[in-house]
Chains A and B, each alone.
Chain A
Amino acid sequence: MNEFANRKIYITGFFVLVFAIIVGRLFYIQIVDSYYKRTADQNAMRYEYQYPARGLIFDRNGTLLVGNQTVYDIVVIPREVAAFDTTALARVLGMTEAQVHSTLNAIKAAAKKNAAYQPALFCRQVSTEAFALLQEKWFKFPGFYAQARSIRAYPRRLAGNLIGYIGEADTASITADPFYIQGSFMGKIGIERSYENALRGKRGLTIYMRDKLNRVRDRYAGGAYDTVAIPGANIVCTIDADLQEYGEQLMQNKVGSIVAVEPATGEILTLVSTPNFDPELFIDVHRAGERNALALDPLKPLFNRAVMAQYPPGSIFKCVNALVGLQEGTVSVNTTHACDGGYYFGNRRVGCHRHASPLNLIQSLQMSCNAYYCHEFRGIIDKPEFGSPQAGFAAWRRHVESFGIGQRLESDIPNELRGLLPTAASYDKMHGANRWKSATILSLAIGQGELGVTPLHMANLAATIANRGYYYTPHVAKSIQGGKIDRRFLTPHTTTISREHFAPVVEGMYLAVNGDVGSTARWTKMPDVPICGKTGTAQNPHGEDHSVFICFAPKDNPKIALAVYVENSGAGASWAAPTASLMVEKYLKKAVTRKWLEGYVMNANLLPQNTQNGAAKKQ
């Protein structure tokens, strides 16, 4: 066999190769790949998080809107359960004896050997009375414990849509932000979501070592890596709780929205979207059924109409067209147009209601003449200096855009819509390149056609006119504990319209409420506060017109500007105007004296007929 002596080398070589592979593999899994280290930490360490109290939310006057409360979950450690009085436990927890048995059996079945040392949820959110009873009787129920949990509390039960709610973090958030882990809570909509980072605070962490049976052994590294929980920051919001509450009462049994802002600051005083929901639905585990019903409600209570619904502005847009015309010099305060029940061009007609004729600019706003604005709008678009209707349109669009229309206002309310402001390109697409003229797009003259604004846009328009030419981005955060509100809320946006052009428009709006016969909203005027307003009736191809009203008050140095939108309720003067007027009274006078008007609005049920039964039950 000596002739094969050189095979010793091959064999040795083979051994060396195999051992090199082993060392290489060791190098890879021990040094190169960090996956195993991470898994090992998850394996052997038990991270116990201390969730800090979430920040509180106050209204502008210091009223608590959102607080915290402690509730208790009953948990059970299957291994520690001994014989106990099931009847007594069932009675305390308000369960049936059979439920106690089946729940316990299910937990035991799920918690095979390894999880038997882990607390498992037995009964969620027991009442305070039940917890008090249990406190005295723990010794009777070995293996059962109470686990405190902090949930939201809503002392005023207001503004569900605006404040929002919190829920368990979804997978996307967990992957995007390491702050969230399975089962942690986060703001889902509204203020809870937009100020999540401030409200959530900082989670505390205690690391324990554990073995494969999940038994905790001791603190990892003597607690060197543990951190302390830091409570969330409190937020004072710009909402006036009383006004908000009043707005919600006025809007009950109506579909629509009220947005009120303080013109001088852009602070949102009230933001109502109806139908709304009771925020407590989202904290009470026993009301999951009602919560699920919200999502299926045809009136979409979870949909924040104030920023997410887009409507044609209707006649309130005449204010904008008047301002643009004045700025472009195509109309003056003295320009008059006759109205013969409408505006005629070719074989088409834009109808108008009965009013005195002819009218000047101020009167046209006071009486909301459609024909006047058809003349006025065509005057802008066809202004000879522009050379073409396209150039005229571009100039008009630039002015309108400066009011924040057709773009997100970038408030701090999530999911704000940008609205709709047509572009020349979109008309080119519709009619062919440059094959359209002022008459083609005449609907824009009276706020119809390809225009869409949210109630927030409308309130902002009211604030802009109240300010005579500029606005602050509307927002709901007034101050954040230990932080600052965003700079964008402190810089004014100036429109392209010169300040002097606002005077006649304000005058027209003043007369619309306070004028004589023919003024559109004169029946809603306040005896001692000059309200300036403009009605609108947005045509709705799907049913009854929408009632719109924007206003601000007082006329000089305005304190409040607001927009009211009531869906499917007819002319602006009928519902939106009185609602707005009552809101102004409530805000400026703190009490409403016009009880007849209040009753008229509050008691009206303007919900679509087919949903009335369901809605009535909810109220």
Chain B
Amino acid sequence: MLIGIVSVYAAGFNEDNISIFDFANRSGLQILWVGVACLIAITTMTIESRFYNLFTGFFYGFMLLLMVVTLIFGKEVNGNKSWLSFGPVGIQTVEFMKLATALLLAKTMSAYGFKMANMKDFLQVFLIVLLPFGLTLLQHDTGSALVFSSFIIVFYRAGLKPWIVVSCIFLVFLFILALLVEPYGIVIIMGVTCIGIFVAMTRKYRAALILMGIITVITLALHLGLAQLDIYIDLYESLLIAHAAVIPLGIIYAFWRKIKSVLLIIGFFIISIGTTYSVDYVFDNFLQEHQRRRINDLLGIESDLRGWGYNVHQSKVAIGSGGFLGKGFLEGTQTKGNFIPEQSTDFIFCTVGEEWGFLGAALVVGLYLLLLARLLNVAERQKSLFAKLYGYGVVSIIFFHIFVNIGMTIGIMPVVGIPLPFVSYGGSSLWAFTILIFVLLNLDVSRYE
């Protein structure tokens, strides 16, 4: 088991060295951080395992307090107010907040009589996640805040109803759809989808055809017909009115034929349209300018390769130019030329992709998958529920980091500043991940006690 960790560790350390070869002090520092991390690992292992269970609540509370302190007295780095300085050393408190949250979640959910399906219990754990999430958002560290959403994996494993997970995924899908497609397009897509679901569930083709016919006729009548009388209603509104008009028909039909699913489908349709409608509002009013741009860039809606699209474009260029075998250690033209911002921290994967090519990048990705698989295994074999749930928490956090970080360097995720575990430069994240894993190992060692 250790081999997996050590190899990723070694690989990570190596890559780190490459990318920051020019900045001797940075790679030097990273070696120092690794040394400290080893000490931390040993300490973590030697502590009595019950300690973690017992002091979880206190630790969580302390971290929350520290988060608030950071928010007030913190140092601003790149627009994020997430750093707390102790003299010369800066600590990113949120990295440890993740650990505390994972622990407290495990403790709460392993309590006797806890049931995910129970509304009160659910709200309790939801709150545990929501508090640090909110504080992180206030620190303008969206990336780290999103990490907390990864605990949905823990919830799911503990018995969260699948439809909630599915609707969450569906919401993300709707969000993207709403940004990509014109409003009338969404109405058409959703309308067709709903009628499709209806047909799939009831096999009533004729009713479906009639329904579609009615909607089409009303839409065309409103949009084109009234135009002859100099009354102009745009396509989106015409479609909405047409759909609104057939909804009562649908309800009547549902009661007449006693088909309950029709009501569900209608509800689904209304909620979906409502959601997409609100997406534009959220997008335009809640997100910051740079976040909007990053999402637009990712979805290919608009881009500016010299401005805000620069990072991702350069990152893709660096990775893409690696080819199959890469350019070799220290031979990367892009990384050597410092074209990519933040290449020793968030965009570290570029170095791997460029210098070691597809082979190296795939190998690193494979090692990560191996690590996750090992961690999952470790989690599953735990006797105590606390240790098992904590294990899932670790898996969730690490998975989210890997997925989003690598995803953004190759342009399938929007750019958010979260590090690649064990590889990115930075003391806090390295130590936090070390503790995260070694606490699990500690629990694992003592699993037969």
Query: Which residues on A are within 8 Å of B, measured CB to CB?
Result: 1, 3-4, 7-8, 10-12, 15-16, 18-19, 21-23, 25-27, 29-31, 33, 35-37, 39-41, 43-45, 209-213, 217
A236 to chain B, nearest CB (A): 47
A7 to B339, Cβ gap below 8 A?
no
The contact sample of 25 A-B pairs, CB cut-off 8 A, is A1-B159, A4-B157, A4-B159, A7-B156, A8-B376, A12-B373, A15-B373, A18-B399, A21-B412, A22-B407, A29-B411, A30-B319, A31-B358, A35-B320, A36-B320, A37-B323, A39-B321, A43-B314, A43-B333, A44-B333, A209-B333, A211-B337, A211-B338, A212-B337, A212-B338
- In whole Å, how far is A208's beta carbon from the nearest beta carbon of chain B? 11
Q: How far is the CB of B153 from chain A (nearest CB, A)?
A: 6
Q: Is B334 an interface residue (CB 8 A)?
A: yes
What residues of chain B lie closer than 8 Å to A11, measured between beta carbons?
A: 153, 156-157, 376, 395
Assess whether A27 is in contact with B358, with CB atoms less than 8 Å apart.
yes
Residue pair B361, A26 in contact (C-beta under 8 Å):
yes
With both beta carbons as reference points, the residue of chain B lying nearest to A14 in the complex is identified as B153
Q: How many angstroms between the C-alpha atoms of A43 and B380 in the bound complex? A: 48
Is there contact, CB below 8 Å, between B376 and A43? no
Q: Considering the chains assembled together, what is the distance between the CA atoms of A16 and B403 in angstroms?
A: 11
B337, A210: Cβ atoms closer than 8 Å = yes
CB pair B358–A26 under 8 Å, yes or no, is: yes
Q: Which residues of B contact A (CB under 8 A)?
A: 153, 156-159, 314, 316-324, 333-334, 336-339, 353, 357-358, 361-362, 365-366, 368-369, 372-373, 376, 380, 385, 388, 395, 399, 403, 406-407, 410-412
Q: Which residues of B contact A4 (CB under 8 A)?
A: 157-159
Which residue in chain A gives the minimum CB-CB distance to B358?
A30
When distances are taken between beta carbons in the complex, the residues of chain A under 8 Å from B314 are 43
**CB-CB < 8 A to A217: which residues of B?**
336-337
SS of B interface (majority): helix
* In the complex, chain A residues whose CB is within 8 Å of the CB of B157: 1, 4, 7-8, 11
A127 to chain B, nearest CB (A): 38
Closest chain A residue, CB of each to CB of B153: A11
A539 to chain B, nearest CB (A): 59
Q: How far is the CB of A222 from chain B (nearest CB, A)?
A: 13
Per a CB cutoff under 8 Å, which of A15, A33, A36, A45 touches B333?
A45
How distant is the Cα of A26 from the Cα of B360 in the complex, in angstroms?
11
Task: List A contacts of B362 (CB < 8 A).
Answer: 23, 26-27
In the bound assembly, the distance between CA atoms of A33 and B361 in angstroms comes to 16
Q: Distance in Å from the Cβ of A24 to the closest Cβ of chain B? A: 10
Q: Which residues of chain B are near A212, meaning CB under 8 Å?
A: 337-339
Q: How far is the CA of A209 from the CA of B336 in the complex (A)?
A: 10
Top-8 shortest CB links A-B: A36-B320, A40-B321, A44-B333, A211-B337, A29-B320, A30-B358, A212-B339, A39-B317
- Chain A binding site: helix, strand, loop or mixed by DSSP? helix
Check if B321 sits within 8 Å of A209, measured CB to CB. Answer: no
Nearest-Cβ distance from residue A527 to partner chain B, whole angstroms = 76
A217 to B320, CA, bound (A): 22
Chain A residues whose C-beta falls within 8 Å of the C-beta of B338 in the assembled complex:
211-213
CB contacts (< 8 Å) of A25 on chain B: these are 410-412
Beta-carbon contact of B376 and A44 below 8 Å? no
The answer to whether B320 and A211 have CB atoms under 8 Å apart is no
A23, B403: Cβ atoms closer than 8 Å = no
Q: Which residues of B contact A12 (CB under 8 A)?
A: 373, 376
Give the distance in Å from the alpha carbon of A217 to the alpha carbon of B334 in the complex: 13
Closest A residue to B22 using CB positions: A211
Closest chain A CB from B185 CB (angstroms): 25
Interface hub of A26, A30, A41 (most chain B Cβ within 10 A): A30
Flag if A19 contacts B337 (CB, 8 Å): no
- In angstroms, Cα B391 to Cα A1, docked, is 14
A30 touches B361 (CB 8 A): yes
Residues of A within 8 A of B337 (CB): 43-44, 209-212, 217
Q: Smallest CB-CB separation from A45: which chain B residue?
A: B333
A41: chain B residues at CB < 8 Å are: 321, 333
State the CA gap A209–B368 with chains docked (Å): 34
- Shortest C-beta distance, A176 to chain B (Å), equals 25
Determine which of A16, A31, A45 lies in contact with B369 in the assembled complex, contact meaning CB atoms within 8 Å: A16
CB distance from B139 to the nearest CB of A (A): 27
Partner of A40 from B318, B372, B376, B388 at Cβ < 8 Å: B318
Cα distance, A213 to B366, chains bound together (Å): 35
Smallest CB gap from A214: residue in B: B337
Considering the complex, give the chain B residue whose CB is closest to the CB of A3: B159
Which one of A1, A29, A30, A209 lies within 8 Å of B158 (CB-CB)?
A: A1
Closest to A33 in B: B320
What's the Cα separation between A7 and B155 when bound, in Å?
11
- Shortest Cβ distance from A33 into chain B, in angstroms? 6
A40 to B313, CA, bound (A): 10
Instruction: Report the bound CA distance from A19 to B407 in whole Å.
Output: 10
Tell me whether B376 and A211 are in contact (CB under 8 A).
Answer: no
Please give, as numbers and ranges, the residues of chain A lying within 8 Å of B385 by CB-CB distance. 1
Report the bound CA distance from A569 to B281 in whole Å: 77
Cβ–Cβ contact A26 & B159, under 8 A: no
How far apart are the CA atoms of A492 and B339 in the complex, in Å?
63
* Of B156, B159, B320, B361, most A-chain CB atoms within 10 Å: B320
Chain A residues within 8 Å of B361, by CB: 26, 30
Chain A residues with CB under 8 Å of B156's CB are 7, 10-11
Q: Is the Cβ of B410 less than 8 Å from the Cβ of A22?
A: yes
| Shortest Cβ distance from B306 into A: residue | A114
Kindly provide the distance from the CB of A179 to the nearest chain B CB, expressed in whole angstroms. Answer: 25
What distance in Å separates the Cβ of A98 from its nearest Cβ neighbour in chain B?
A: 32
What is the CA–CA distance of A21 and B368 in the complex, to the nearest angstrom? 14
**Cα distance, A15 to B336, chains bound together (Å):** 33
The answer to whether A19 and B317 have CB atoms under 8 Å apart is no
B372 touches A29 (CB 8 A): no
By the criterion CB–CB under 8 Å, are A36 and B403 in contact? no
Residue pair A15, B369 in contact (C-beta under 8 Å)? yes
Residues of A within 8 A of B318 (CB): 40
Known contacts A26-B365, A211-B336; decide if A15 and B399 are in contact (CB<8 Å).
yes
- Bound together, the chains give a CA A11 to CA B380 distance in angstroms of 12
Minimum distance in angstroms from B51 CB to a CB of chain A: 24
Please name the residue on chain B nearest to A38 by beta carbon: B321
* Cα separation A41 to B320 with both chains bound (whole Å): 11
- Return chain B residues, CB-CB under 8 Å to A209: 333, 336-337
Task: Assess whether B410 is in contact with A40, with CB atoms less than 8 Å apart.
Answer: no
CB distance from B348 to the nearest CB of A (A): 15
Q: Which residues of B contact A29 (CB under 8 A)?
A: 316, 319-320, 410-411
Contact: A31 with B323, CB < 8 Å? yes
Candidate in A8, A22, A23, A37 with the most chain B CB atoms within 10 angstroms:
A22
Q: Which residues of A contact B357 (CB under 8 A)?
A: 30
Contacts A15-B369, A15-B399; A44 near B339 (Cβ below 8 A): yes
**A12-B376, A211-B337, A212-B337 are known contacts. Are A19 and B321 too (CB-CB below 8 A)?**
no
User: Is B365's CB under 8 angstroms from A19's CB?
Assistant: yes
CA distance in complex: A33, B317 (Å): 11
Q: Is the CB of B334 within 8 A of A43?
A: yes
CA of A33 to CA of B316, assembled, Å? 11
Residues of B contacting A22 with CB < 8 Å? 365, 403, 406-407, 410, 412
Q: Return B150 CB to nearest CB of chain A, in Å.
A: 12
Are B334 and A44 in contact (CB-based, < 8 A)?
yes
Q: Please name all residues of chain B whose beta carbon is closer than 8 Å to the beta carbon of A26 when the two chains form the complex.
A: 319, 353, 358, 361-362, 365, 410
Shortest B323–chain A CB gap in Å is 6
Residues of A within 8 A of B372 (CB): 15
* Complex contact A40–B333 (CB within 8 A): yes
Q: Which of A27, A36, A41 has the most CB of B within 10 A?
A: A36
Min CB gap B178→A, angstroms:
22
